[in-house]
Structure 1
Amino acid sequence: MAILDQHGNPIKTADIQAPQTARTAWLQRQWADHPGRRLTPARLKQILDEAERGDIQAQSELFADMEEQDGHIASEMAKRILPIPALDWDIQPPADASADEEADAALAKALIEQLPGFPQLLANLATGIGHGFACAEIEWDNSEGQWLPVSLDLQPHDWFVVAPDRKTLLLRSTNVQSWPDGQAVAGDTLQPFGWIVHRHQAKPGMLARRGLFRALAVTFLLKQYALGDLAELLEIFGIPMRLGKYRSGASEEEKRTLLNAIMSIGHNAGGIIPEGMEIAFEAAAEGNADPFMAMVEYCDKTASKLITGGTLNSQADGKSSTNALGRVHADALQKLTSSDAPQIAASLTRDLVFPLLQLNSRRPVTLRRCPRFVFDTSEAEDLSLFADALPKLAPIMQIPTNWAHSRLKIPQPKDGEAVLQAPGTAQPKPPQDTATATAALSAAPTTEVDGDPTPVTALSEQLQTGAADPLKAMLDRIRQAVDGAESLAALRDDLLGLYGDLPSEDLTKVLQTAFACADLAGRFDVSRGE
């Protein structure tokens, strides 16, 4: 049986025995040029223009420098990336799935759960948010009769080029390919089943322009200039201006000696100069760091808005940040995660789930009917709010239990699985003479109400009838005390004295009988499986 890739083309298992990059070892000997270390406006324009023409090497290296050199960008990107590996995930069969498709979904999930470092793979693929793409190479192993990835390594973004169609990624190579439009590009087609290729659309446009870092490149450049100027200001701030005076006819060597003394005296607080020369100290250099810090803060806030959708989760000045507004921005970040995760899930379905099933399933699988990798991006509802609302709504509307479980993110119990239950209430002690209780229960009307031979209404009416005389006797004694009281104070004393002498024995027997009836009725319901 031929094995088909995602595009319906047959592949040979011999082609995936070794990673594709093992045949291009020269890539691993390449060193990054680090364009971010000497970035200028002209150089930035050149890098971005080259990327639009397909050569994304310099742009990818610049993006790596941005995250490495700017702590604020690195921190904000971590907030955007790290929630994704923490999400719950599942493999879901297609709609109206057959038994075979259900089995395929279970097989794919079992295989993926065995993969080493799978959460790290999710974080690696999420780097495509900044770069616009991320490519993880798969190294397969079939030593135990089952095809499984033994490594899923994210390869450097600068190892790839964009084909003339502006959407296909190629592995950088010395081989030159000719495309239908006549353009030539030095790159190899990525091996099917050998890569997880994630193209992330943080913003629309061609592949080279989709990454968030491209929108941050200008602010990164401005921040570097502001920090450089601020460093120069701090180096000379507060140091007096030093002027050296040399005599007429001084030699070049004497002038250099005087200059060295001037430049070092500010740090060393001392120095020597030839006789006849003079150093004069003018007013200390003045300056203000506020303009530079304003530029730095502007760049940081712009980065926060682009990456996380707000600034209040990034600022800790205690002035603009509030708990309520922080929650609003946290909700915005949650919405971004809900947008990022499905894009990564689609790439995993195409480039991981589908190959796993094609190589290990007993039957061919089509990409259209392939089980889907899905993330659970929903948030659990407020338990206290639902605990108060559901009991009030249940009597007036039909609420599916599956809906409540999904909203509260509480899984349905499996067969035989222990579940939590409300603590049982202590049962009242029944009377010693259970014959009385049995007789009382038997005396209840036997007419069934909704099929129940012991209706609660009938028992309640019997309790009310039986308790009427004992309650009347007790109330008569209290009424006599009230009628004979001479004052409120005297009535209080009479009631306190009367408390222990009230005729409560008959009422106690009625209540004991009622509790026993309720106990027996409950046992009867349990016996019927209710």
Structure 2
Amino acid sequence: MVSPKALIKKLFGNESSQALDEEQTNDSRVGQLKREFAEHPTKGLNPHKLYQILESAEQGDLKAQSELFDDMEEKDPQIGADLGKRRQLSAEREWQIVPPDGADAREKKAAEQAAEVFSGIEVEDLILDLGTGIGHGWANLELAWGRDGAMRFIEQPTLRPHSWFRLHPEDQNCITLRDMSATGAELWPLGWIQHRHRAKAGYVARMGLHRMLAWPYLFQNYALGDLAQLLEIYGMPARIGKYPKNATEKEKATLLRAVVSLGQNAAGIIPDGMSLDFLEAASGRADVYKAMMDWCERAKAKAILGGTLTSGTGEGTNTNALGNVHERGQMSLIRSDARQYAGSIGKHILWPMAALNFGIEKPSRAPRFYLDTGETEDLERLSKSLPTIVDMGAKIPMWWFHEKSGIPKAAEGEEVLMPKAAPKPVGALRLAQPQGQRIAALRLGDSEEPDAPDLQLERLQREGDTAIEPWVEQIQALVEEVESLEELRDRLVELAPELGVEDFAEVMTEALAAAHLAGRYDIVEGV
């Protein structure tokens, strides 16, 4: 039997045990990261500066690019809203943790323990934090470990700023913590959820969706600035102040202040002998700037959500059918996001807990995390179409029905809803075969020998048919006389009082009396 320490060292390396006792960011070598402030590279952003930031990230320096991406999401409502929507659509899904296929008792216990741990943390916050990897291409959440006796469990993971990390100079896919060294500190095993989100293909520095959004963000800012300048220049009438030839510099400055004040406050004073003229505002076209801003908005919506009609940036002529197409494209992105979150959670949380607590060495035998992304069918439509399909001979598995309807499958021993008992027709009534002699309670004639239950039922049905036979004859004759359904309806109403019910009522009375006596006999005999 391998000892727990030896197993940890074998599976996760030498520094893994240190991560179980403390967080790596508490180490003195990287402690300065918690005292850093963002430099906000969007200040004075231009094409040359943006190109330098993106190029530096490809060379390993991720700090400026990460801070740029944070600023973009904070300052641009379109980017912030669409990315927030995409993350929230995954975070609001129901989650579950299940053992692997063909699990043994140990693997089932590992899944139960993991589900208990996750019920004690904010899973929605965890998914939202992992969702920051959509824009950046990756997200690192630091793990804090707790202990309950011999059992190890994780506490709420903490998202660390993307600017704290850099790329290893010899491996563009290896992320390290920035410290005083040229390569950075390697992340401790068991200490991090190292999530890689492939919103687009490429190395770590280039797989973030924000690299695609950076240029529309910049172009839109230029267009917005130009539009604001246009409104300032052409949206107000020009003011011209006139002063006499012998005016002093002080009088000229007074007139200038009055002209400016009139532009801002629509009020001012000027010395006597001076004048102010207002010229009609020049006409300027804002269409070109609005066209550029609309293009940038649509480009960002398509990059984030896969379409424009789910973010409110579509054209006015869009149809509902086209909107449904865009929504289906959006849901395919959400399902991909959910699978990537589940993969990182399984690799960096569920497998380590299963290995530490239950000695499960293979990641494939660790518990599995799922976000429910299944789309349920309309229950009314499903209830109408499914019986017809089944009657045609289709063999539909029960799990498919539960998946499509969204109705969970009841666990063993769990209370379930039962169908309401349908009333049975008189001709189909059958009394159960009694135990022992209860025939004496069912005597309906003068016969000294009791009838068997089936004989009684045959007698009742025969007498009932005899009682309603006159009805059938009268109605059949009426059908032959009338010429339309409307006339038959009216004639049936007139015929109803003439149909004799005495014989049929007598038969029903006998049947109810027999059923009543049989029930009492069952109670007495304890059947």
Bin for the TM-score computed over the shorter chain: 0.7 to 0.9
1:241 CA drift (Å): 1.8
Alignment of 1:351-500 (within 5 A): 351-361=348-358, 363-395=359-391, 396-425=393-422, 434-435=442-443, 439=451, 441-443=453-455, 466-475=463-472, 499-500=496-497
2:147 alignment partner in structure 1: 142
**Is residue 350 of structure 1 aligned with residue 347 of structure 2?**
yes
Distance 1:30 1:506, change over 3 A: same
SS at match of 1:422: coil
Give the RMSD, CA atoms, in angstroms: 3.8
Q: Could you tell which deviates more after superposition, 301-310 or 511-520?
A: 511-520
CA distance in 1, matches of 2:488, 2:387: 45
Aligned residue among 286, 289, 293 for 2:286: 289
Code of the aligned partner of 1:18: E
The answer as to whether partners of 1:171 and 1:190 remain within 8 angstroms in 2 is yes
Q: For residue 108 of structure 1, what is the aligned residue in structure 2?
A: 114
Residue 17 of structure 1: aligned partner: 21
- 1:264-302 deviation digits (Å, cap 9, x = unpaired): 221233444567765443332322333222222211111
Structure 1 residue 472, shift from structure 2 partner: 3.6
Name the counterpart of 1:97.
Answer: 103
> Deviation per CA, 1:100-159, whole angstroms, max 9, x where unpaired?
2222222222222222x2210111101101111111111223365532333311111111
Provide closer, same or farther for how the CA distance between residues 161 and 515 of structure 1 changes in structure 2, counting only shifts above 3 A: farther
Tell me if the contact between 2:138 and 2:195 (Cα under 8 Å) persists in the aligned partners.
yes
Secondary structure at the aligned position of 1:356 is classed as: helix
> Which residue is 2:157 aligned to?
152
Q: Match for residue 211 of structure 1? A: 208
Residues 390-399 or 267-276, more deviating = 267-276
Q: Residue 475 and residue 344 in structure 1: after superposition, are their counterparts in 2 closer, same or farther (change >3 A)?
A: closer
Q: How many residues align?
A: 492
Q: Distance in 2 between matches of 1:58 and 1:512?
A: 93
CA distance in 1, matches of 2:138, 2:517: 69
Alignment of 1:247-396 (within 5 A): 256-273=253-270, 279-315=276-312, 319-361=316-358, 363-395=359-391, 396=393
Classify 1:413/1:512 alpha carbon distance in 2 versus 1 (closer, same or farther; 3 Å).
farther
Contact 1:240 1:285 (C-alpha < 8 Å) held by counterparts:
yes
Q: 1:424-483: per-residue Cα shift (whole Å, max 9, x none)? A: 34578999x954599484238xxxxxxxxxxxxxx8x98876555434433556688999
Distance 2:70 2:490 in 1: 88
Q: 3-state DSSP class of the match of 2:415? A: coil
SS of 2:383's equivalent?
helix
| Residues 369 and 521 of structure 1, relative CA distance in 2, 3 Å threshold | farther
Please give the alpha-carbon distance, in whole angstroms, between the structure 2 residues aligned to 1:397 and 1:32.
Answer: 62
**154-163 vs 242-251, greater mean Cα deviation:** 242-251
TM-score by length of 1: 0.81
Identity %: 40
What CA distance in whole angstroms lies between the structure 2 residues aligned with 1:40 and 1:223? Answer: 12
Deviation at 1:5, TM superposition (A): 6.5
Q: CA deviation at 1:392?
A: 2.1
Q: Which amino acid is the alignment partner of residue 154 of structure 1?
A: L
Question: For the residues of structure 2 that align with 1:70 and 1:262, how far apart are their CA atoms?
Answer: 36
Q: Is the 8 A contact 2:91 2:125 kept in 1?
A: yes
Code of the aligned partner of 2:383: A
Q: Does 1:76 align with 2:75?
A: no
In the other structure, the counterpart of 1:449 is none
Aligned to 2:195: 198
Counterpart in the other structure of 1:188: 185
**TM norm structure 2:** 0.82
Counterpart contact for 1:121–1:152, Cα < 8 Å: yes
Counterpart among 211, 219, 224 of residue 222 in structure 1 = 219
Q: Is the 8 A contact 1:348 1:373 kept in 2?
A: yes
Contact 2:24 2:188 in 1 (8 A): yes
Aligned to 1:4, which of 8, 17, 39? 8
Give the distance between the partners of 2:517 and 2:66, measured in 1 at CA: 77
What's the CA shift for 1:89? 2.0
> For residue 77 of structure 2, what is the amino acid of its counterpart?
G
Q: Distance in 2 between matches of 1:145 and 1:51?
A: 43
Give the distance between the partners of 1:122 and 1:316, measured in 2 at CA. 27
Q: Counterpart of 1:118?
A: 123
Q: Offset of 1:61 from its aligned partner? A: 0.7
Given that 2:90 and 2:338 are in contact with CA atoms closer than 8 Å, whether structure 1 keeps it comes out as yes
Unaligned runs of 5+ in 2: 432-440, 520-527
C-alpha displacement of 1:252: 6.2
Cα drift, residue 67 of structure 1: 0.8
**1:243–1:262 contact (8 Å) kept in structure 2:** yes
CA deviation profile, 1:313-346 (whole Å, cap 9, x unmatched) = 2228893344433332222211111111111111
Instruction: Say if 1:439 and 1:11 are closer, same or farther in 2 by CA, change over 3 A.
Output: farther
Q: In 2, Cα distance between the equivalents of 1:53 and 1:212?
A: 18
C-alpha distance in 2, partners of 1:476/1:143? 84
1:46 matched to which residue of 2? Answer: 52
- Write out per-residue CA displacement over residues 153-190 of structure 1, whole angstroms, 9 at most, x where no aligned residue: 111111111223111111111123xxxxxxxx3x1101
Q: What secondary structure does 2:226 align onto?
A: helix
1:238 CA displacement: 3.5
In 2, the alpha carbon distance for the partners of 1:484 and 1:79 equals 71
Amino acid at match of 2:147: N
Question: What do the CA deviations read for 1:33-76 (whole angstroms, capped 9, x no partner)?
Answer: 11113210111111111111111111111111111111111111
Q: Is the 8 A contact 1:5 1:192 kept in 2?
A: no
> Could you say what secondary structure the match of 1:32 adopts?
coil
**Corresponding residue of 2:436:** none
CA distance in 2, matches of 1:269, 1:495: 89
